[in-house]
């Protein structure tokens, strides 16, 4: 089935460690996005990419990094510079920028111990 | 700038009650409007959308009408079920490579 796969679903990390969240899609979508979700704050955009080898910062990019080497993949690295990384992370893709419709993965919950 | 404001939750209703979740927006031009739903422990799913004024989006018994005069896109359902318990997000997009703007979400809890 076509869709977006995020892994791992749950992840624990010690302070000072970098961690990479995987996002893979087989929908042939050009655009991909990473959002962070915290209770009571809705979704905040971290990074987005509209084409391979190109990406832009969203509203809260500090402490995060991404790459887009393949159309299907958009991994997110949470670095040790991110001061409050415990959150639910959502990856999404979009067939084109005109519709504004997003398709989401099931999310990855990161907990810093 | 563009923004979406939706009613704060949680909203608690009994099964078969009528549901309204308010959403208003601020945007230049003519944005597309969306309602997404997030079930516990999952990502968001598109529930319905409307792309121009007076359009009505509908799905799974939910409806929302794009009201440009009141800049609103309120979500309604005539008879809710326990399975409708989720968080609902209103969103807008102007397309043309613009970022999608989400509201903060409204948690809905339906009692049997």
Measured CA to CA, the distance from residue A88 to residue A46 in angstroms comes to: 12
Give the number of other CB atoms < 10 A from CB of residue A20.
13
CA atoms of B102 and A43, how far apart (whole Å)? 7
In this model, does residue B2 exceed pLDDT 90?
no
- Record: contact A43-B34, CB cut-off 8 A: no
Distance of alpha carbon A50 from alpha carbon A44, whole angstroms: 17
pLDDT in tens, B41-97: 889 999 999 999 999 999 999 999 999 999 999 999 999 999 999 999 999 988 666
Of the partner residues B49, B89, B97, the one whose CB lies closest to the CB of residue A101: B49
Contact B45 A104 (CB under 8 A): yes
β-sheet bridge partners, residue B110: B13
User: What mean pLDDT value characterizes chain A?
Assistant: 92
From A55's Cα to the closest Cα of chain B, the distance in A is 12
Q: State the CB neighbour count (10 A cutoff) for residue B1.
A: 6
Q: pLDDT: is A8 or B96 the higher one?
A: A8
A21-60 residue pLDDT tens: 999 999 999 999 999 999 877 899 999 998 999 999 999 9
CA–CA dist B79, A18 (Å, integer): 47
**Tokens read off for B30:** 């003519």
**pLDDT for residue A113:** 86
**Separation CA A34–CA A68 (nearest Å):** 12
**B residues 35..74 contacting A (CB < 8 A):** 36, 41-46, 49
Instruction: For the beta carbon of residue A81, count every other beta carbon within 10 angstroms.
Output: 11
For A21, counting Cβ atoms within 10 Å of its Cβ (0-12 exposed, 13-18 middle, 19+ buried), the class is buried
Structure tokens at B75: 């979500």
Q: What integer pLDDT is reported at residue A1 of this predicted model?
A: 66
- Is any Cβ of chain A less than 8 angstroms from the Cβ of B32? yes
| Closest residue in chain A to residue B92, using alpha carbons only | A100
- Residue B23's closest CA among B51, B64, B84, B69? B64
Let me know: does A66 contact A78? Beta carbons within 8 Å.
no
CB contact under 8 A, B103 and A41: no
A48 CB within 8 Å of a chain B CB: yes
Report yes or no: A54 at the B interface, CB cutoff 8 Å. no
CB pairs under 8 A between A and B: 59
Confidence of residue A97 (pLDDT cuts 50, 70, 90): low
Using CB atoms, pick whichever of B43, B96, B105 lies closest to residue A90: B43
**Do B100 and A106 make contact, defined as CB atoms within 8 angstroms?**
no
Q: What was the pLDDT predicted at B1?
A: 80
Residue B96 to residue A75: CA distance in whole angstroms: 24
Dihedral pair phi/psi, residue A7, rounded to 5° = -150, 150
The residues near A80 (Cβ < 8 Å, ≥ 6 apart) are: A15, A16, A17, A18
């Amino acid at each position: 089935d076509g869709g977006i796969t995020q892994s791992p679903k749950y992840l624990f990390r010690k302070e000072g460690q970098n961690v990479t969240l995987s996002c893979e899609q087989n929908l042939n979508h050009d655009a991909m996005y990473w959002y962070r979700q915290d209770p009571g704050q809705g979704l905040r955009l971290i990074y987005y990419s509209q084409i391979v080898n190109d990406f832009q910062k969203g509203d809260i990019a500090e402490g995060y990094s991404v790459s887009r080497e393949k159309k299907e993949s958009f991994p997110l690295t949470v670095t040790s510079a991110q001061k409050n990384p415990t959150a639910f992370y959502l990856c999404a893709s979009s067939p084109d920028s005109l519709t504004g419709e997003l398709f989401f993965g099931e999310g990855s919950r990161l907990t810093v111990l | 700038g563009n923004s979406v404001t939706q009613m704060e939750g949680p909203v608690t209703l009994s099964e078969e009650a009528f549901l309204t979740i308010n959403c208003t927006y601020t945007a230049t031009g003519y944005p597309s409007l969306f309602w997404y739903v997030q079930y516990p422990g999952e990502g968001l799913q598109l529930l319905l959308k409307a792309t121009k004024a007076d359009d009505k989006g509908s799905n799974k018994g939910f409806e929302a009408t794009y009201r440009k005069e009141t800049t609103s896109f309120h979500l309604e359902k005539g008879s809710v079920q326990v399975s409708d318990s989720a968080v609902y997000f209103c969103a807008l997009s102007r397309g043309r490579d613009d970022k999608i703007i989400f509201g903060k979400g409204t948690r809905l809890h339906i009692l049997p």
